[in-house]
Amino acid sequence: MVCDGVLYTNDMSWLELRKFVCPEFVFGDGALALAGRFASNFGGSKVMVVSGSNVIRAGWTGKVLKSLDDEGLPYTIFSEYTQNPKEREVMRGAEIYRSEGCDVIICVGGGSAIDCAKGIGIVNKNRSNILEFVGADQIPLPGPPLICVPTTAGSSADVSQFAIITDTRERTKTAIVSKKLVPDASLIDPSTTITMSAELTANTGIDALTHAIEAYVSNASSPITDLFALNAAQLIARHLIPAIHEPQNMEHRGKMMLGSLQAGLAFSNASLGLVHAMAHSLGGHADFPHGESNGILLPLVMKFNYQGAPDRYDQIGETMGLNLKGLDPDEKRDAIVAIVQKLQEDAGVPMVIPKGYVEKKDVQELARKAMADVCIVTNPRSVRLEDVTAIYQEALG
């Protein structure tokens, strides 16, 4: 039964205990200008600002720095990280944080910047290598105050208890999951997304959609996460393509940022599934963009997973605009997969792994690493190594 957007079952499992964690957040135009005030309220005396060169050039970092100047707070900027932040980059940032005498971190950027900032904070507090915290609930002490200013509508790292760090020795992206990673504040200003390219808008939007879908079908979902997941899927389905074609339109940009926020609140508490487990393995192996990885794998995993949660996938399809009445299960599955593929096609997201990133000989190793990822625990269907291998092979085209 579906009531108010929530799928209830007769076995009363929806009444099982669930926790829900999220940071304080401010959503709306001008939110980023509050960064200095928040840093001051947290008792900061010197701030590390984590932000990449593209965001700095776009001017968003400068607006945050002005807010720090207005509060009389000194700062140092750290931008020595890359896409899919590496463990050595986190450790370098932690070293600079200590040497500069910082006591608050502000991050201005997308998922890579925020994950790096989270890592810097917990390394400093716990004085250990970042890779020692891989897995669920492995962080003894929370980091220093962390304020996030997200500049993409996709990763939702600014509200989540996840950090994804690349282990360069093992060539895999590792998931660190702990409520100690939840930022202290997120200042969500949709205007920061107007400088995103069409490609970045598409990739981050599909990332957010994947968060919503995987959270809704997760075996750790709850009525609360369901509300956020379904509303996020609806917003993204309606506004992603218009946001790509009308980048200055704040109606679409704002709804995409809202969808990203809601998807983040959902997956941070319900966790994810096989798409992300496989995307982490792929991204670490080939340094492949996370949103593109999700886009390639999402339809394939949905097709595989459907029998594990058919009612929930049906609800996702209906939320995205499908009429599934009168269809048999296979027809429903194919229609739901098709509407996601159509959205990706319209967004210009690749449907197969581009040549040069992965060879057939790599597939078994990719599958082995995906099977060890913490996200696979909450997948709605049991997964075997041969299942993951087959999906990667299909993703090669």
Per-residue pLDDT reduced to its tens digit, 116-126: 999 999 999 99
The DSSP H or E segment spanning 3 is: strand 2-3
When pLDDT is cut at 50, 70 and 90, the band that residue 7 belongs to is low
User: What number is the average pLDDT over the span 45-69?
Assistant: 98
- Contact call for residues 278 and 297 (beta carbons, < 8 A): yes
Handedness of CA 383, 177, 263, 172 (dihedral sign): negative
Nearest by Cα to 60 from 123, 173, 152, 172: 152
pLDDT of residue 168: 93
36 or 83, higher pLDDT: 36
pLDDT at 5 over 60: no
Write out the residue limits of the CATH 3.40.50.1970 domain(s) in the chain: 24-194
pLDDT of residue 17: 81
Give the orientation angle of helix 274-286 with respect to helix 363-371, to 10 degrees: 130
User: What number is the average pLDDT over the span 205-212?
Assistant: 98
CA gap 221, 154 in Å, rounded: 20
- Which tens digit of pLDDT belongs to each residue from 267-277? 999 999 999 99
Q: How many other C-beta atoms lie within 10 A of the C-beta of residue 37?
A: 16
pLDDT of residue 331: 98
- Contact call for residues 252 and 191 (beta carbons, < 8 A): no
pLDDT of residue 1: 47
User: What number is the average pLDDT over the span 61-87?
Assistant: 97
pLDDT of residue 19: 84
Average pLDDT score over the chain: 95
pLDDT at 4 over 80: no
Phi, psi for 264 (deg, rounded to 5): -65, -45
When pLDDT is cut at 50, 70 and 90, the band that residue 217 belongs to is very high
What percent helix, strand, coil does the chain show, rounded to 5? Answer: 55, 10, 30
Token pair 């910082």 is at which residue? 102
Degrees, nearest 5: CA angle 346-352-358: 150
CA gap 376, 218 in Å, rounded: 10
CATH fold for domain 196-395: Dehydroquinate synthase-like, alpha domain (1.20.1090)
- Contact call for residues 280 and 373 (beta carbons, < 8 A): yes
Which residue stretches of the chain are H helix?
35-41, 53-58, 60-70, 87-99, 111-126, 198-217, 223-245, 250-270, 274-286, 290-305, 310-319, 329-347, 363-371, 385-395
pLDDT of residue 10: 59
- Which tens digit of pLDDT belongs to each residue from 33-54? 999 999 999 999 999 999 999 9
Q: How many CA atoms lie within 13 A of 122 on its CB side?
A: 30
pLDDT at 6 over 80: no
User: What number is the average pLDDT over the span 129-137?
Assistant: 96
Write out the residue limits of the CATH 1.20.1090.10 domain(s) in the chain: 196-395
Q: 98-135: string of b/e by CB count within 10 Å (b at 16+)?
A: eeeebbbbbbbbbbbbbbbbbbbbbbbbbeeebbebbe
Q: pLDDT above 90 covers what percent of the chain?
A: 92
Q: 159-190: string of b/e by CB count within 10 Å (b at 16+)?
A: bbbbbbbbbeeebbbbbbbbebbbbbbbbbbb
Burial of 239 (0-12, 13-18, 19+ CB in 10 A): buried
CATH architecture type of domain 24-194: 3-Layer(aba) Sandwich (3.40)
User: Tokens at residue 385, please?
Assistant: 């190594």
For the whole model, what pTM was predicted? 0.94
